[in-house]
Amino acid sequence: MLFDFLWSAYPDLPDETKWGLIETYCVQLLSRCTWTQMPDSGLTFTQQSAWLDYRQALKEVKETYANPDEAVIPSLPEGA
């Protein structure tokens, strides 16, 4: 997981704190790819759809994983 280095440095972080860090990171990633959903993005429908799926996966990380130590940040769409 992306935050393994943080967990090893601070093994006693409560799950709530870990989820907060994960959520903050996902929000940052979401803000960096908002442009992909704009009509003038220059992306094809297929590319926009892939980015839309990626964005949805970022929004659902907490619902997808029960344990923050097992959470995986979604990968960028292919060709990104």
How many structural domains compose the chain?
Answer: 1
The string of pLDDT tens digits covering residues 43-80 is 999 999 999 999 999 999 999 999 988 888 999 999 87
Residue 23: what residue type?
E
Cβ atoms within 10 Å, residue 33: 17
| Cα angle: 1, vertex 53, 16; to 5 degrees | 40
Asked if the structure places residue 1 within a domain, the reply is no
The string of pLDDT tens digits covering residues 15-28 is 999 899 899 999 99
**Structural domain boundaries, residue 28:** 16-70
Asked if the structure places residue 61 within a domain, the reply is yes
Distance CA 21, CA 27 (A): 10
